Amino acid sequence: PFEAVDADIKKKGFITVCNHMSTLDDPSIPGAIVPFPYYFSSNYTRWVTCAKDVCFRNKLIAEFLRTGMTLPIDRKGGKQQPVIDLLHHLSQTGKWVHLFPEGRGKADMTP
């Protein structure tokens, strides 16, 4: 099934969205969606955001996250942030963008 949409994804890109249950959500979602042979190709790696005030306080961790295609976002910054424009551009140029709209974990999964 994944291979069937592969060519379409490369042309259009796509956006996936889900709520956080834990900090393991981000690394586990690609594993659930992308077949193993594709794991090590940047063409099938998602771009994701992480709160500036949480994930990007330490320079070493921030660089590690950037290498993993994670972008800093200001949770109180609204929709008019440069990172939002970048995510839109990435999705329009054949990239996978994943969003956690709530921005923090919620184990009970209530809306």
Q: Is the Cβ–Cβ distance between 74 and 50 less than 8 Å?
A: no
Residues whose CB is less than 8 angstroms from the CB of residue 16 and which lie 6 or more positions away in sequence, other chains included: 29, 33, 46, 96, 97, 98, 99
Strands 96-99 and 14-17: parallel
How much is the pLDDT for 25?
A: 60
Where in the chain are the domains?
2-99
Q: Is the Cβ–Cβ distance between 55 and 65 less than 8 Å?
A: yes
How much is the pLDDT for 15?
A: 85
Low-confidence ranges of the chain (pLDDT < 70): 1-10, 20-44, 103-111
Q: pLDDT by residue (tens digit) across 65-88?
A: 898 899 999 988 888 999 999 999
